[in-house]
Amino acid sequence: MKLLVTGGAGFIGSNFIRYVLTTYKEWTVVNLDKLTYAGNLENLVDVAQGASADRYRFIRGDIADRALVEEIFSTGFDAVINFAAESHVDRSIDNAHVFIQTNVLGTQVLLDSALRHKVQRFVQISTDEVYGSLGPEGYFTETTPLAPNSPYSASKAGADLLVRAYYETFRLPTIITRCSNNYGPYQFPEKLIPLFITNALHDQPLPLYGDGLNVRDWIYVEDHCAAIALILERGRPGEVYNIGGNSEKTNIEITRAILHRLGKPESLIRYVTDRPGHDRRYAIDSSKLQRELGWAPRYDFATGIDRTIRWYLENTAWWQRIKTGEYLDFYNRWYGNRI
């Protein structure tokens, strides 16, 4: 199978490319990535230089660049997996413009080219955040109404609706996946888990929003990648599949788990002003995927967080370069007077 993976230099995309090139020896991957602040070719050095190098090609470019995308599609693909996105809620509160540009317009450009070139699978990597926020009970299912609360989740929901429309109107064989919060190697240290691991390693404060009792469902990134590959092979066009880790945790539980494992004191925790529009709880019912395709997560949280912490301990140069670069400007502006 010949795949076009967009956003493959980011966290989940790079893990996915490594996973498929290792698992499926006949598959080839073209990775189209703009290399925004979150895209990093260091994430794929082993792939680009390793045993599967001849089945992998990188192209730097924007998914919203219609001429470039059309030129790339003319080389022929069996499937597209669209990871490319602006992905951080806090940045979408800071400035939503690029979220619409990439997440909505970029997706529409890909859909048009996929249709023109009769691509047989278009997998849109979406998020459980499009469903909005839950109270203490219940789960998101694939039929839960979309009710996004942040500019990020609104842009992802907009893309989902376009993907749905291209199936209903043109019968482009699309599939949407909606996954919960990922963690694992190569996650940009602006997200909760890698931010808190790397801050704690430097004995810097951990800025916990609000009362620290917001709940997320956490999935180890490799489990997400395995689910996407299975859906790509055997999922039904026109369908939505939820993907979850069966691992609900409050943010304070996550924080304590990290501090405890690193042998750092809880005095590093700083309760800071809450994120505006902060969704209280996400919890996902992925029984459709388990029932139809026999998928289940392999990593429980204790195993996944141990592996993740070990990776950040063994790859300090990777995240130290990021934390001293352009990201520092955003960090100082965003958290500045709060910690």
Residues with a catalytic annotation lie at 128-129, 152
Interface residue with ligand TYD, options 5, 81, 89, 240 (CB under 6 A): 89
251 binds, among ligand NAD, ligand TYD, none (CB under 5 to 8 A by kind): ligand TYD
Residue 207's binding partner among ligand TYD, ligand NAD, none (Cβ under 5 to 8 angstroms by kind) is ligand TYD
Asked if residues 127 and 144 have their Cβ atoms less than 8 Å apart, the reply is no
- Label the pairing between strands 121-127 and 79-82: parallel
Among 3, 20, 21, 39, binds ligand NAD (CB under 6 A): 39
Task: Report the distance separating Cα 252 and Cα 140, nearest Å.
Answer: 22
Write down the least CB distance from residue 156 to ligand NAD, Å. Answer: 6
CB of 50 to ligand NAD, least distance (A): 19
Asked if 38 touches ligand NAD (CB under 6 A), the answer is yes
Euclidean distance between CA atoms 241 and 280, whole angstroms: 22
Among ligand TYD, ligand NAD, none, what binds residue 195 when CB lies within 5 to 8 Å by partner kind? ligand TYD
What minimum distance in Å lies between the beta carbon of 221 and ligand TYD? 13
Question: What number of chain residues touch ligand TYD (CB under 6 A)?
Answer: 12
- Tell whether residue 156 is a contact of ligand NAD (CB under 6 A): yes
Give least dist CB 279 to ligand TYD, A: 7
34 binds ligand NAD (CB under 6 A): yes
Q: Name which of ligand TYD, ligand NAD, none residue 330 binds, using a CB cut-off of 5 to 8 Å depending on partner kind.
A: none
Judged by CB under 6 A, does residue 208 bind ligand TYD? yes
Nearer to ligand NAD, 270 or 275 (CB): 275
Provide the binding-site residues for ligand TYD, judged by CB under 6 A: 89, 181, 191-192, 195, 207-209, 214, 216, 251, 275
Contacting positions for ligand NAD (CB under 6 A): 6-7, 9-13, 33-36, 38-39, 62-64, 83-87, 102, 106, 125, 127, 156, 179, 181-182, 188
